[in-house]
Homo-oligomer: A and B are copies of this chain.
Amino acid sequence: MQISPLLESLMEALRCLPGVGPKSAQRMAFHLLQRNRQGGIKLAHDLHEAMINIGHCKECRTFTEQETCTICANTRRQSSKQLCVVETPADIVAIEQTGQYSGRYFVLLGHLSPLDGIGPSDIGLDLLKKKLSSESISEVILATNPTVEGDATANYIAQMCAEFNVTATRIAHGVPVGGELEMVDGTTLSHSFVGRQKIEL
């Protein structure tokens, strides 16, 4: 059934969004047409601008439409000499929301995965190496995901840091705050035992 070719192609195009199936796409298309055409036009404009203009920061590889992102360009951030390595730009947003960290970032845009043919240069480790050799960095905080690939990537980078005499640290893995011990999976629980810390009184 074809009511309108434009409408059909809009519904089809909306399915490129993650988590949007045929029913949601239909609901979104009708919602915008019926109730919010201005919002739809603004979304089309912003989407086009973002897709065309957003590239990668030449320092940290996160998404930005400038040459250097606002975090890398911040002199206060530069002076902290800490570098946090994350897998995706979304991780930066999550860490920034904690307000705990005031150093710079480095985004891998993936993780090492030899089986998929993803080697060190594919995740920007040549650029990271250059940073380690040329800049004065005191600590590299490895905040890759706690998965097999994320751990392997963290180990690889830690070895690279050792070559340049830079301290490499890994974020703690353990029982989530507010969680119940009973509900935590075994692997996480054993991580939390291995990573136990002395209580300083």
Contacts and interface: CB of A to CB of B under 8 A. Distances in A.
Nearest to A14: B43
A6 B41 contact: no
Interface string A1-27: 111111101101110111100001011
A58 interface: no
Interface stretch (A84-92, A117-125, A140-148): A84-92
A25 to B, nearest CB: 10
B19 A24 contact: yes
Nearest to A16: B39
A62 B40 CA distance: 18
A97 interface: yes
Interface string A78-119: 000000000011101100110000000000010000000000
A42 interface: yes
A191 interface: no
Contacts of A159: none
Interface of A: 1-7, 9-10, 12-14, 16-19, 24, 26-34, 36-37, 39-54, 62-66, 69-71, 88-90, 92-93, 96-97, 109
